[in-house]
Amino acid sequence: MTDVVLHGSPEEFWAAAGDLLTADPVQHTLPLTVFDRARSDERALATLVTVHDDGPCGAALRVFPQVLVLSGTIAPAAESLAVLLGDADPALNGVTGPTAEADAFAAEWTRLTGAAVRTRRTLRLHRLVDLVEPVGASTPRPGTARRGTEDDVDLLARWRLEFATEVQVGGGQKTGLHDITLASLRRGDLHVLWEVDGTPLSWAVASAPVHGMSRVGPVYTPSAHRGNGCAAAVTAALSRRVLDAGTSHVVLFTDATNAVTNALYERIGYRVVDEFVEIEFVS
């Protein structure tokens, strides 16, 4: 019998879900990184739920004001989960996760609440299988990769805003990006800049490893510098540094509709693991 359990603390949630999530850190990259960053602030963790069927089989968590993150087997419990969250988190604004699981929950949430749904993004989760370094004409001229530091915060915050606005993530947030970027650097996320003649042309970030897994993103190249291999170069350089640091699993998400970026990451050794979707709930 499938059951859903609402947890009152991060410790209680982790006791129930930890073994499930850490057994496959690639598939569960989203809840692992979201939970790791937010577990010290119980006010931010608005929702902590596990799904059980002869043991834990799925997890759902939300960090306010973000959407609900689903992972594992959720669909058989979608109705029960929607009913539970209708009481526990009625202000829920959306859901993201593997497509089948997120679609099943969204359908039940719509039926329960009358909310309309809008698909914001369809995504592909990729895992690095065998890194292929870009060579030859992959950059406009010889460049170098260097680690970003706190001295680069203004540039990185500006590029983060440009990236978020372009891909419509976070509503193009304009405030607090300097502090967000600084916090990212200080918690150990790896920022790498690709430079040509000392000028940064592209940027990529990898999250600090969690249970042997690090997720790449964002990767951003200003429009004036695109089409010349900078994104491939900076992603490969970042990936190499993450691997050399001993991380077992390197993953990233792409827009499923963007053939250019999907082909780029495949060329340097990333392979598709699963399809994801991000759905917004509209009153």
CB 90 within 8 A of CB 112: no
Q: pLDDT at residue 132 above 90?
A: yes
Measure the CA–CA gap between 47 and 34, rounded to whole angstroms: 12
As a whole number, mean pLDDT of residues 116-144 equals 84
Measure the CA–CA gap between 55 and 131, rounded to whole angstroms: 36
2-6, 137-141, 248-252: least confident range: 137-141
- Which tens digits make up the pLDDT trace of 76-107? 999 999 999 999 999 999 999 999 999 999 99
Q: pLDDT at residue 201 above 80?
A: yes
- Which tens digits make up the pLDDT trace of 229-258? 999 999 999 999 999 999 999 999 999 999
Better-scored residue on pLDDT, 71 or 38 = 71
As a whole number, mean pLDDT of residues 202-229 equals 95
Measure the CA–CA gap between 144 and 234, rounded to whole angstroms: 9
Torsion over CA of 91, 74, 120 and 170, rounded to 10 degrees? 60
Write the class of the CATH domain 128-273: alpha beta
Confidence of residue 67 (pLDDT cuts 50, 70, 90): very high
CA distances from 10 to 3, 49, 135, 136 (A): 19, 10, 46, 49
- Which tens digits make up the pLDDT trace of 43-61? 677 799 999 999 999 999 9
Per-residue tokens: 253: 């998400």
Helical spans, DSSP H, in the chain: 10-23, 29-38, 78-88, 99-113, 153-167, 177-186, 230-244, 259-267
Give the domain ranges of the chain: 3-114, 128-273
Q: Is 279 exposed, middle or buried (0-12, 13-18, 19+ CB in 10 A)?
A: buried
Q: pLDDT at residue 42 above 70?
A: no
Return the number of other C-beta atoms located less than 10 Å from residue 91's C-beta: 11
> Could you give the percent of the chain with pLDDT greater than 70?
94
The contacts of residue 179 (CB under 8 Å, 6+ apart) are none
Among 179, 187, 180, 226, smallest CA distance to 203 is for: 226
In whole angstroms, how large is the CA radius of gyration of the chain?
19
Confidence of residue 172 (pLDDT cuts 50, 70, 90): very low
> For position 171, what pLDDT does the model report?
45
Mean pLDDT of all residues belonging to the chain: 93
Q: pLDDT at residue 174 above 60?
A: no
> Could you give the percent of the chain with pLDDT greater than 90?
84
Identify the residue whose tokens are 């900076």. 234
